[in-house]
Amino acid sequence: MRIAQQLVKELQLKEHQVINTIQLIDEGNTIPFIARYRKEQTGELSDVVLRDLYDRLNYLRNLEGRREEVIRLIQEQEKLTPELEETIRKAETLQEIDDIYRPYRPKRRTRATIAKEKGLEPLAEIMLAQNIADEAAFAQKAAEYINPEKEVNSLEEAVNGAMDIIAEIVSDNADYRKAIRNITMKEGTLIVKAADAEKSSVYEMYYDFQEKLKTIADHRVLAINRGEKEDFLKVKIEINESGILDYLSKKLVKPAGSFTTSYVTSAIEDAYKRLISPSIEREIRGNLSERAEEKAIKVFGENLKKLLLQPPVKDKVVMGFDPAFRTGCKIAVVDGTGKLLEALTVYPTEPQNDVAGSKAKLKALIDKYGIDVVAIGNGTASRESEVFVADMLKEIERKVVYMIVSEAGASVYSASELASKEYPDINVSLRGAISIARRLQDPLAELVKIDPKHVGVGQYQHDVNQKRLDEMLRGVVEDCVNSVGVDLNTASASLLQYISGISKAVAENIVKYREENGKFSNRSQLNKVKRLGPAAFVQAAGFLRITDGSNPLDNTGVHPESYSAASLLLEKLGCPLKGLDSSRLRELSGRLASINAEETAADLSIGVPTLKDMIKELRKPGRDPREELPKPIFRTDVLKIEDLRAEMILTGTVRNVIDFGAFVDIGIKNDGLVHISELSDKYVKNPMEVVSVGDIVNVKVIGIDLKKGRVSLSMKGIH
C-alpha cells in the first residue's frame, strides 16, 4: 500500500488506477493488453503512463527490498535502534538508504579501522567531545593510549590515529553527506580540460570547458563522458571548499571550544578532502550520467516509436537501391506484398561508371514489373546514386518517383541468421537492398527484424546502460506492434514475437503451424498452436488480425472476450454477425457513430471505454492507425546543396530528434540541422515538444557551409 500511495502522489493518478494497474501487472498481463483491453480498471491510462508506472513500480519495489535488507543487516550486528529503523523507513531513495547504512557496512582495512584495532576509539570520542580545557590535561589523558604492543609508540601516533577515526565518523554521517551532495550540486562546477591539447579530436570544444553542475545539459554530460573514456579529456568537479568546511564545523565544533577543537577541525578537513569529496564527486558524476542516460534512452524511445509508426506505402512495387562505389549498387525488386521478384547489381558509380548499362538494366526492370517507387539507401554513394536515379526517371514515360530511405541497420540484417533463413539463396550483399525496399513499404514489419539500437535514431546509445536501453526499446517496439496489430496469416516470426503474450518460440510455432496447416481462418485456431496456452491467447488474440476469415470480428481489434457483446450490439442494429462482412460493416458506420454509449454499454453489460473502442473497430475493420499520419515525401529530381539560398523555404522529413534540435531531410546528401533555438517562435525546452521523427515540416535555410556540407535550418516565422 505504501508503494501504491507513493505512485499516486508521484504520477498524480487516482488511487484505484494505481491499485488496479499493479494488480493487473502482478497477474501477468502485458502493458499493451492492459492499455487496450482493461481501460475500465485503469481509468483509460495510456501505454506511455503505464510504462512509467511499471518502471517506477519496479524501482520502488527494489527500494523496499534494499530497505528491508539494510534493516536486517544492521539488526544482525545488534545495532538497530527504533530511531535508526524509523530513519531507514523514511528514506525515499536508494542513495539515502546506502548513506544510512554506510557506518555499518563491513569495511576493508582503513586508517580508521586500524586505529580502532589499536584501541584508539575512546580517545577519538574524548577529542570529539571537546571538553578538555588545556594541553596538560589532554596529554595526560592521551598518554593512557600509548601502547607499544599495539604499535602506538607516542602521543603523536595516538592523536593521529584518533583523528583518523573522527574523519571516518564525519565521512560516514548520512546527513552530512546528503547536505554536501546538495551543496556541491548547487554550487559546483564541472571542469573539463584536454588530456593533450595538441591532439585533434571531435571533443575540441571541451578542451577548455566549464559549466555549473546544476545547469549542464544532458547531452554534454554524455559527450564529456565519452571523451574522457577515450582519453581525450580530463574531468573534475570544483567547488569552494570553505563553505562546506564551515557547514561541517558548525555541526561538529563546539562554540566554546577546547584544547581538542583544533584536532577536530583538522580531522574535519581531512574527512572532506580525503574521504567525502572524492566519493561525492563519483556519486554526482554517476547521478549526472544516470540522468543523462535516462534522457537519452527516452529520446531514443520516442524517436524509435515515431520511426516504427511511419505510414506504410501499400500495394506499390518497389525497387530497393543500396548504393555503393567499388562493389556496385545492389538492386532488389519487391512486389506489393514485399515478395522478392528479382535482384541484381549495377555499376553506375565510381570507378566503373557504367551509367548507360545500368540505366538499361533498371529501365528493363521498371517495365517488366511496373515499378512505382525507387527506395534509395542513404549511406555511402547515396548522393551519386540519387543523381543517377533522378536522371534515369526523366527518361521514363510513366511516372516513377524515388525516396531516400534510412539504411541504418540494413547491413546488420543482411548478415543475420534471420536474413539467412529468409533468403538462403540470396547473396548477403543483396539482402540489404531487399530490406531498404521493404522498410519503405512497411517500416514496422521490416525494422522489427533489426536490433533497435541499430536503426539510426538514437543519441549516444552506445554510452548508456545497455540493459535499461534494451528494456526500454523492447517496450517501445511492443507498444508500436500491438497498437497497429498484425495479420496473423502474413506476419513474420520477427513481428509476431512482439505481440502481447507471445514469446519468440511461440512466434516460430505460429509460423510453423501456418506452414503445415495453411492459413488461419479464425482466432480460436490459435489454441492449437504448440505452447500457446489459454493465458497467452487472452493476451495476444485481440492484436492478431485475420482478413477474409470465418468471423468478421477477427479482422478488428475487438477482443474475443467481447464477441458476445459485439454480437448483441450488431443484432440491436438489425445486422446479425452471421453473414456479416467488411462491406456490410462499413454500411453500418453512421448508425454505430450515433449510438448512445452510456445506455448501450449498460444494456450490453460492458464498460463505456470498451464499447467506444468496439464501435471504432466495427466502423473501420482492419484499420491501420498509421494511415492517419502524414505521408512520406516522394521526389522526382535532385536538390544539390549548391542550389540552396538563404531564406529558401523547403519541405522536409524529420529524421532524428536530439537534445539540441532536429535533423531534417530536405533532399540533399546530408540532413540539415534545426537547432533547438530555431524550432519555434516560442521558447522550447525539449525539441520533442515541437517535432517528432517522421514529421513533415516546412523549414527555412539560414546557413550553408559548402566546405563541410552542412546546412542550418529554421522553423521560425513559417506558417
Query: Which of 522, 546, 519 lies closest to 621 in space, CA to CA?
Result: 546
Beta-carbon contacts of 144 under 8 Å, excluding residues fewer than 6 positions away, are none
pLDDT digits (tens, 9 = 90+) for 555-575: 999 999 999 999 999 988 888
Q: State the pLDDT at residue 263.
A: 95
How far from 672 is each of 696, 697, 712, CA to CA, in Å?
14, 12, 6
Q: State the cell numbers at 598.
A: 452510456
Torsion on CA atoms 246, 250, 253, 256, rounded to nearest 10: 120
Residues shown for the chain: 719
User: How far apart are alpha carbons 318 and 340 in whole angstroms?
Assistant: 10
DSSP 87: H
Query: Which of 277, 77, 107, 294 lies closest to 188 in space, CA to CA?
Result: 277
Compute how many other C-beta atoms are within 10 angstroms of the C-beta atom of residue 564: 13
User: How far apart are alpha carbons 352 and 381 in whole angstroms?
Assistant: 13
Which residue type is seen at 416? S
User: How far apart are alpha carbons 286 and 600 in whole angstroms?
Assistant: 55
Beta-carbon contacts of 392 under 8 Å, excluding residues fewer than 6 positions away, are 359, 362, 363
User: How far apart are alpha carbons 232 and 230 in whole angstroms?
Assistant: 6
Q: Could you write out the three-class secondary structure of 484-513?
A: HCEECCCCCHHHHCCCCCCCHHHHHHHHHH
Q: How many CA atoms lie within 13 A of 266 on its CB side?
A: 14
User: How far apart are alpha carbons 98 and 708 in whole angstroms?
Assistant: 50
How far from 258 is each of 66, 127, 133, 598, 623, CA to CA, in Å?
42, 9, 5, 79, 82
Q: Is 297 helix (H, G, I), strand (E, B) or coil?
A: helix
The bridge status of strand 189-194 relative to strand 329-334 is unpaired
User: How far apart are alpha carbons 719 and 716 in whole angstroms?
Assistant: 9
Beta-carbon contacts of 594 under 8 Å, excluding residues fewer than 6 positions away, are none
User: How far apart are alpha carbons 24 and 28 in whole angstroms?
Assistant: 7
Residues of the chain with confidence (pLDDT) below 50: none
Q: Is 314 helix (H, G, I), strand (E, B) or coil?
A: coil
Q: State the pLDDT at residue 459.
A: 66
- 8 A C-beta contact, residue 145 and residue 152: yes
Torsion on CA atoms 82, 85, 86, 87, rounded to nearest 10: 130
Q: Is 520 helix (H, G, I), strand (E, B) or coil?
A: coil
Query: Which of 468, 437, 447 lies closest to 303 in space, CA to CA?
Result: 447
The angle formed by the CA atoms of residues 476, 480 and 486, to the nearest 5 degrees, is 140
User: How far apart are alpha carbons 72 and 428 in whole angstroms?
Assistant: 57
- 8 A C-beta contact, residue 376 and residue 329: no
User: How far apart are alpha carbons 266 and 180 in whole angstroms?
Assistant: 18
Alpha helices, DSSP H only, in 329-449?
355-369, 382-394, 410-414, 417-422, 428-441, 443-447
**pTM score, two decimals?**
0.84
DSSP 312: P
Q: State the pLDDT at residue 514.
A: 96
Query: Which of 382, 385, 369 lies closest to 316 in space, CA to CA?
Result: 369
User: How far apart are alpha carbons 371 and 207 in whole angstroms?
Assistant: 53
Q: Is 455 helix (H, G, I), strand (E, B) or coil?
A: coil
Per DSSP, the residues of 1-30 read: -HHHHHHHHHHT--HHHHHHHHHHHHTT--
Q: State the pLDDT at residue 406.
A: 86
Domains along the sequence of the chain with CATH? 2-74 (1.10.10.650), 111-296 (1.10.3500.10), 318-457 (3.30.420.140), 504-628 (1.10.150.310), 641-714 (2.40.50.140)
